[in-house]
Amino acid sequence: MAKTSYNSKDIMVLEGLDAVRMRPGMYIGTTGVKGLHHLLWEIVDNSIDELANGHGNKICVTLHADGSASCVDNGRGMPVDKHPKLKVSGVQVIFTELHAGGKFESNNYQYSGGLHGVGASVTNALSEWLEVYVDRDGKRYHMRFESKEVGGHIKSGMPVSELTVIGTSRSTGSLVRFLPDRRVFGDATFDFNTIALRLREIAFLNKGIEIILVDERNKNAKPVVKQFKYDGGVSDFVNYVNSTKTKLFDNPIYIKGKSEHCELEASIQYTSEYSDTVLSFVNNIPTSEGGTHETGFKSGITKVMNDLGRKLNFIKDKDDNLLGDDFKEGLTAVLSIKMRNVQFEGQTKTKLGNPEIRPEVESIVVTELTKALTKNDAKKIVETIIKKAQGAAKTREATKKAKELSRAKNSVENTNMLGKLAACTSKKAELNELFIVEGDSAGGTAKQGRDRYFQSILPLKGKPLNVEKKRLDQILQNEEIRSIIGSLGTGIAENFDLSSLKYHKVIILADADQDGEHIKSILLTFFFRYMKELITSGHVYVGMPPLFKMEKKGEVHYAYTDADYAEKQKKFGSGFSIQRYKGLGEMSAEQLWETTMNPKTRFLVKVTIEDAAEADRMVTTLMGDNVEARKEYIQENADFNREDKYAKLLDKGSDKK
């Protein structure tokens, strides 16, 4: 019989950090690799906030051989005195109380990226152990925390002892070292490149701060060391993003200003590209979905350029003002603002919602950009930008009809837009999947093998257009691209509307060969440039067809990597037959369903953007016109071993991300 009583004794009280241990996903998003790195970001962000507010100028992050990570800064050092209410040291409060810190009071930190997070206490809660060293007031302090099993469950982040003076020190600063708990994260390990990209970004945004990354994990080699320090700040950032692009003028425009609620730094440069790249940040946090600051920034640029264009007679009296979209073409910009009382939309902190910031940012941009572009040597730059925008305006009308076609005529009945789409019967977008399949042959097999209720198939006749080299009006003339746009139902570019998406999984399915990889790259470039929110919202996947079919006495197994094949070969022993799949078309409908389309048995790779600046730079390098840059990148980074790319992503019986 079901329990019917419900009294106070039935209410579970999670003390201290136990709630984090029980529901880690609520605090760090995932217990995979991304969540593991979140532990480090919480510690690094605290050090950055200290330095960004004028206390210190150097940080060192180290990945240690035992799997732990540490971060040391030369700031003021964490508070070591007793908290007046809690009666324990400030260090203990920081690492054991979820909603505690010096950032809620503006006298300590004017600007903080971690204001809406729960901070270092979460790192402590999800670590096997964590140690803190503080240099302050001529002394060195130490405290250690451990997560231990007590009474059958784990007590998280418990102090082993009180904060103790262990020596003297002539410097100031804090060092935090922690070992992520394997009971939470399994075999996940820190990725050097992921950390390096984020630390480089932080260094760009904090002019003059030195950040060092050390990897000591290879016991048979010297530590790998990378140093990041940019005296040019956001201007250096723009130059980095544009390093493989053709610039229309040499030095980026730099502006800086202050208003009642924010401080602003920005850098602007134009290239010969057709797309734009605007990277915005609030208190060092990337705002990949933009927000009120980005809106004010773009409107400020539009106003200044139209005013100066008319003043310098580059725009005639009889001509209409150029639009904001015209000034987007070829624009690369980095916008960084610092502010208090940040209101991010959603838990992911990717969009700024403060309404008061838009007019303030626009005002700063209008004032400071006008100053920068009315100097004696800036007239040529203004002319270059205006001519670029006028070229974009001329193609706008030619694009208009095609864009309206892609936006308004995307119903299932419109065969011109939908190509050879085999639509599913379900109308529930959250259940539906669209497979974009390489080739008519594989497309036909996929149509036979699919579950018609929720799976739609869109075969591609050939390679779609490489959008990195074309204007939007040219892109929308391509039949394959139009079919994709019409099938998804979202429109593209500034008309993109995620709420109209007909499929919550968009799965690219191509052969595991050179042509297949190229098609994947072309499609991902299109999504990145014109439907970026499709990726950032987690709707784009790459299907993983097997490489081998192995059969012995009626028993069949599929191998997805060389290592997977070697493992299954040991189990099979000798006397088995093997088939190497060169393409999707070699599979029967049943085999394609079983290995690649059935949600219970298939493997999918979820496409994400961890670093927008690096993603933009990579897309430009690999898909743009700079042949030498592409050749150099491939020589340095190419790895054609599928095993290294995908082996860690494979796990039987579910979609993998």
* CA 513 to the chain's CA centroid: 27
Q: Which residue has the higher pLDDT, 497 or 420?
A: 497
* Token digits of residue 262: 């924010």
Q: Which of 294, 511, 594, 611 is catalytic?
A: 511
Q: What pLDDT does residue 151 have?
A: 75
Measure the CA–CA gap between 241 and 613, rounded to whole angstroms. Answer: 6
Give the confidence band of 363 by pLDDT, cuts at 50, 70, 90.
very high
Measure the CA–CA gap between 67 and 656, rounded to whole angstroms. Answer: 24
Confirm if 137 and 76 have CB atoms less than 8 A apart.
Answer: no
pLDDT for 333 beyond 70: yes
* Token digits of residue 401: 């009809």
Measure the CA–CA gap between 546 and 579, rounded to whole angstroms. Answer: 10
Q: What pLDDT does residue 15 have?
A: 46
Residue 505 pairs with which residues in a beta bridge?
433
- Report the pLDDT averaged over residues 393-401: 76
Of the ranges 9-18, 326-335, 371-380, the best mean pLDDT one: 326-335
Task: List, in order of start, the domains of the chain with CATH numbers.
Answer: 18-228 (3.30.565.10), 234-396 (3.30.230.10), 409-540+607-634 (3.40.50.670)
352 DSSP 8-state letter: B
Residue 319 annotated in active site: no
Q: What pLDDT does residue 118 have?
A: 57
pLDDT for 421 beyond 60: yes
Q: What pLDDT does residue 408 have?
A: 46
pLDDT for 410 beyond 80: no
Among the residue ranges 22-36, 175-189, 420-434, 495-509, the one predicted with the least confidence is 22-36
Strand 555-559, strand 224-228: pairing: unpaired
Q: What pLDDT does residue 425 have?
A: 95
Give the confidence band of 240 by pLDDT, cuts at 50, 70, 90.
very high
Q: Which of 18, 146, 479, 515 is catalytic?
A: 515
- Report the pLDDT averaged over residues 421-442: 92
Give the confidence band of 592 by pLDDT, cuts at 50, 70, 90.
very high
The C-alpha angle with vertex 58 and arms to 52 and 64, in degrees rounded to 5, equals 120
Tell which residue, 106, 56, 323, 87, has the closest CA to residue 208: 56
pLDDT for 655 beyond 60: no
The mean pLDDT of the chain is 84
Residue 438 annotated in active site: yes
Residue 605 pairs with which residues in a beta bridge?
542
* Token digits of residue 628: 């030498």
* Strand arrangement, sheet containing 253-258: 253-258, 262-270, 331-339, 277-282, 285-286
186 DSSP 8-state letter: T
Neighbours of 18 (CB within 10 A): 17
Confirm if 228 and 203 have CB atoms less than 8 A apart.
Answer: yes
Tell which residue, 121, 115, 113, has the closest CA to residue 86: 121
Tell which residue, 624, 641, 640, 608, has the closest CA to residue 534: 608
pLDDT tens-digit profile of 121-157?
899 989 999 999 999 999 999 999 998 877 777 888 8
pLDDT for 578 beyond 80: yes
Render the burial of 628-642: b for 16+ CB within 10 Å, e for the rest: ebbeebeeeeeeeeb
Q: What pLDDT does residue 415 have?
A: 43
Give me Rg for the CA atoms of the chain: 27
Sign of the four-CA dihedral 616, 617, 619, 620 = positive
Give the confidence band of 22 by pLDDT, cuts at 50, 70, 90.
low
Q: Which residue has the higher pLDDT, 382 or 653?
A: 382
Q: Which of 438, 480, 564, 655 is catalytic?
A: 438
pLDDT for 580 beyond 70: yes
Strand 433-438, strand 505-509: pairing: parallel
* Token digits of residue 489: 């139902």
> How is 271-291 classified by DSSP, letter by letter?
BS-SS-EEEEEETTEE-TT-B
* CA 64 to the chain's CA centroid: 25
Q: Which residue has the higher pLDDT, 300 or 653?
A: 300
pLDDT tens-digit profile of 58-80?
999 999 999 999 999 999 999 99
- DSSP H helices, 409-548, are 415-418, 440-449, 472-475, 479-488, 514-530, 532-536
Residue 511 annotated in active site: yes
Give the confidence band of 609 by pLDDT, cuts at 50, 70, 90.
confident
- Report the pLDDT averaged over residues 373-377: 87
pLDDT for 654 beyond 70: no
pLDDT for 1 beyond 50: no
Measure the CA–CA gap between 537 and 429, rounded to whole angstroms. Answer: 14
- Report the pLDDT averaged over residues 476-500: 89
pLDDT tens-digit profile of 337-360?
999 888 888 555 678 999 999 999
Measure the CA–CA gap between 573 and 326, rounded to whole angstroms. Answer: 65
Which pTM value belongs to this model?
0.77
Measure the CA–CA gap between 202 and 196, rounded to whole angstroms. Answer: 10
pLDDT for 114 beyond 60: no
Among the residue ranges 24-33, 224-233, 289-298, 516-525, the one predicted with the least confidence is 24-33
Q: What pLDDT does residue 452 have?
A: 96
> How is 483-498 classified by DSSP, letter by letter?
HHHHHH-S--GGG--G
Of the ranges 252-261, 411-420, 570-579, 595-604, the best mean pLDDT one: 252-261
> How is 115-169 classified by DSSP, letter by letter?
TTS-THHHHHHTEEEEEEEEEETTEEEEEEEEEEEETTEEEEEEESS--EEEEE-
Neighbours of 645 (CB within 10 A): 12
Provide the CB-side half-sphere exposure for 610 (13 A, CA): 15
Q: What pLDDT does residue 637 have?
A: 58
Q: Which of 319, 404, 513, 555 is catalytic?
A: 513
Tell which residue, 225, 129, 243, 118, has the closest CA to residue 176: 129
Residue 250 annotated in active site: no
Among the residue ranges 75-84, 291-300, 516-525, 560-569, the one predicted with the least confidence is 560-569
pLDDT over 70 for what percent of the chain? Answer: 85
* Strand arrangement, sheet containing 455-460: 455-460, 433-438, 505-509, 540-543, 604-606
- Report the pLDDT averaged over residues 512-541: 89
Measure the CA–CA gap between 14 and 156, rounded to whole angstroms. Answer: 11
